[in-house]
Structure 1
Amino acid sequence: MNRFESKVVIVTSAASGIGASTARRFASEGGSVVLVDRNEMALADIARELPSDRVLAHVADVSDSDAVDAMVATTVKRFGRLDVLVNNAGVHEGGEPQSITNEQWRQVMATDVDGVFFGCRAALPHLAKTKGSIVNTTSVSGTGGDWSMSPYNAAKGAVVNLTRALAMDLGKKGVRVNAVCPTLTRTGMTADVMNDGKLLAKLAEQIPLGRVCEPDEIASVIAFVASEDASFITGSDVAIDGGVSASNGQPPQ
């Protein structure tokens, strides 16, 4: 498939995990991909995997609105257009509510919420020209609560509803906006869980498919939602959760 031939895609937090898998997926389908991350060395490693004439590595912190504006401007200068924005950058802070500091709260909100809005705002004029698409990586933690994860739950919930609101505002401009909501996924962010066999087994029991998600599985859904195969889908939050959201909370029998 070459669903993204001649199209230009920005993927944030592209140096590892879901972002790296997503960048590889778009490139494999013919797209030109702008890799965005704060980690310059890791970003360069991913860029070397992709066709040199269709990749651009750009170091930026998405919580900085000026940096996000520059990210989009650099993309358009290099490739002449923008068709897809994947707002994938996110950080996590957890703990009991009384132990969460102001700095921890603001860090999560600045990256996970502000960064998404800044990206959408900067990209809109260019996406309106191409009738493009935005995909926001949220989480099942944005559609339901978790123990000791209030900042992350609040941020991801905000992005889910921001996605809906933007879909309404941007629909008549021809721009689609959707979110994907993964469950526990094997990434650097979840390394501690992946290395704790007992905890991992306990969490997997709550997933009807009985295992955690892999980044490539999320990348394939992001690519679908961004493509013309999903041309009448907007304002949706697509669960990639192995059946977690199908449950009413009862433990396995």
Structure 2
Amino acid sequence: MNDLGNKSALITGGTKGIGYGIAEALLKEGINVAITGRTKETAVEAAKKLNAHGNDRAQAIGLEADVRNYESQQKAVSEATDKFGKLDIVIANAGLGHFGSVEDITIEQWKETIDTNLSGPFYSLKASVDQLKKNEGYFISISSLAGTNFFKGGSAYNASKFGLTGFTQAAMLDLRDHGVKVSTIMPGSVSTHFAGNEPDDSDAWKIQIEDIGELVVDLLKMNPRTLPSKIEVRPSMPK
């Protein structure tokens, strides 16, 4: 997929943070982008901002979708395909985190974490796999270094991201014979609003959202014979 002309992408959780940074990077490459959010209003507003800083070769649209619901993901894939004519790239980015001891994590928090971070990417891929096979597309999940490194208070988050890493790697083996590339990106600390953080100058040492966007573009431009299937990325000089 190193020729990115006439491509289209769907990014879950693309209204801010990593998903927004990826959308910006893809638009600059001339790739049409559909971003999803939990409300139509936030998704459309984010798409307007992206288009204001984009170019005339590509367009962003905002869609309401809940990754925890398979039918919602089917609808988002259908809407993106209807708008752009096809779907070549799917980025499973939507995620959240609940942290605390296993004694304190509630059943609801556990379920929301697993449903969003693990079942969500499965639904996104399941809903889009026919389009990806048809167009020899690319599926990328945004996992985390927490998907291979466990930590105190991370039972729910670790479980979801360990699962996502394993799911994505197995899907890679399932789909490569169909010409579909599958990768997972595992970032460390990123300057986003995740877990209640408010990005400011003190986050300058962290990975920036545009860095993840650049990484996604690099993957898409990789020679078709080569597949970086699992990429760990971390701050060069962590605090």
TM-score by length of 2: 0.89
The amino acid of 1:229's aligned partner reads M
Instruction: Tell me how many residue pairs correspond in the alignment.
Output: 233
Query: What's the counterpart of residue 139 of structure 2?
Result: 134
The letter for the 2-side match of 1:224 is D
Which entry has the higher C-alpha Rg, 1 or 2? 1
Q: Determine the structure 2 residue equivalent to 1:184.
A: 189
Unmatched tracts of structure 1, length 5 or more: 201-209, 245-251
Paired position in structure 2 for 1:7: 7
Q: Which moved more, 1:76-85 or 1:186-195?
A: 186-195
Aligned partner of 2:66 in structure 1 is 61
Residue 225 of structure 2: aligned partner = 232
Higher helix share: 1
Find runs of 4+ consecutive structure 1 residues off by over 4 angstroms: none
Query: Is the aligned partner of 1:40 residue 2:46?
Result: no
- Residue 216 of structure 1: aligned partner: 210
Distance 2:67 2:12 in 1: 8
**Residue in 1 aligned with 2:94?**
89
Give CA-to-partner distance per residue, 1:37-61, whole Å, 9 cap, x none: 1143332232113158622210110
- Kindly provide the amino acid, as one letter, of the partner of residue 229 in structure 2: S
- Structure 1 match to 2:150: 145
Deviation at 1:79, TM superposition (A): 1.1
Equivalent position of 1:203 in the other structure: none
Could you say what the CA RMSD is over the residues aligned between the two structures, in angstroms?
2.4
Change (3 A) 1:159 1:7: same
Contact 2:96 2:195 in 1 (8 A): no
Task: Say whether the 8 Å CA contact 1:163–1:235 is kept in structure 2.
Answer: no
TM-superposition CA deviations, 1:88-123 (whole Å, max 9, x none): 000100001111111110000001011100111111
What CA distance in whole angstroms lies between the structure 1 residues aligned with 2:100 and 2:89?
Answer: 35
SS in structure 1 of the partner of residue 222 of structure 2: helix
1:242 aligns with 2:235: yes
Contact map agreement 1:7 1:82 (CA 8 A) in 2: yes
How high is the TM-score relative to the length of structure 1?
A: 0.85
Gaps of 5+ in 2: none
In the TM superposition, what is the alpha-carbon distance from 1:233 to its structure 2 partner?
Answer: 4.1
Percent identical across equivalent pairs? Answer: 24
